[in-house]
Amino acid sequence: MRIVISGAAGFVGSHMCDRLLTEGHTIIGLDNFLTGNRTNIGHLARERRFELINQDVTETFSVDGGFDAVIHMASPASPRDYLEHPIETLEVGSVGTRNMLEIALEHGARFLLTSTSECYGDPHVHPQVETYWGNVNPVGPRSCYDESKRFAEAITMAYHRKYGVATRIARIFNTYGPRMKLDDGRVVPAFLDQVLRGEPLTVFGDGSQTRSFCYVSDLVDGLYRLLLSDEIYPVNLGNPNEMTILQFAEAIRDRLNPGAPIAFQPLPEDDPKQRQPDITKARTLLNWEPKVGLDEGIAKTIEYFRDLVAVPA
């Protein structure tokens, strides 16, 4: 297939490009480098089947030639990034999603949206199943991200219902791995950065809030299977192995620097207390489940961050 993918220079986008190239596809990547990084796709510089266009997808644009699939991954994704860029986040989820749907419609291409578990907000249903409508504060600080993704899902369904676009929606849960930014505020790079620098690990609240971490190769495998599937309604993709943030901090500390202290700070506003995907649907429909355990995934991620932390600022 010839595939257009927005957010190609981002953390997940760059891994998705690698996977699609491995599968033999040709890629036109679009990115405005708001939160992404050219080095994430630097290894593809000589790849004939990969082209990167500096394009803000909230602006009007067209892509030359035919293509078979459109993957819309562009969006700030870490709380630090979307709190710094709230308007851009809302625009890329709304105008950007519409623009990407328009090119899919025009070219008769299938469309995959990377939505998020943040659509569930601070959930009252646990684990989170796709039929749960969520508990989102529409005016809280995180609403720029949560509501932009909820809008993105709504307009994706509207293009399917009104125009028959073959749409797919992935609700991604916390994912980690190489190419995350050290300073993006997400918990995996934050803990690794702190422990590798010999600083205390910062835990917000009492650390009893839970998260489930999926290694990036597992996620892109799920995204690829979903792209090829016929499922119109959202599908959760994430690792159901849930743990408290404190347990996670201790696991990283014990592995790298058992003497490192843990420092507690106030919980940010609207921080979800629980996160665990119900992946029954992905298991049944896509024959997918995560394969990389936390030890293995963290070891691969540490290798990547060790090099970054070694570079003087």
Tell me which residues touch ligand NAD (CB under 6 A). 6-7, 9-13, 30-36, 56-58, 73-77, 81, 92, 96, 114, 116, 172, 174-175
- Provide the minimum distance between the beta carbon of 13 and ligand NAD in the complex, in angstroms, as a whole number: 5
Whole-number Å distance between alpha carbons of 312 and 240: 37
| Smallest distance from ligand NAD to CB 68, Å | 21
Q: Residue 260 or residue 301: which is nearer to ligand NAD going by CB?
A: 301
Q: Which is nearer to ligand NAD, 10 or 127 (CB)?
A: 10
- Give the nearest distance from C-beta 259 to ligand NAD in angstroms: 30
> Is 233 known to be catalytic?
no
CB-nearer residue toward ligand NAD: 136 or 260: 136
Catalytic residue among 145, 159, 176, 215: 145
Beta carbon of residue 73, minimum distance to ligand NAD (angstroms, whole number): 4
Encoding tokens for residue 274?
């629980």
Please say which residue, 35 or 194, places its beta carbon nearer to ligand NAD.
Answer: 35
Catalytic residues: 145
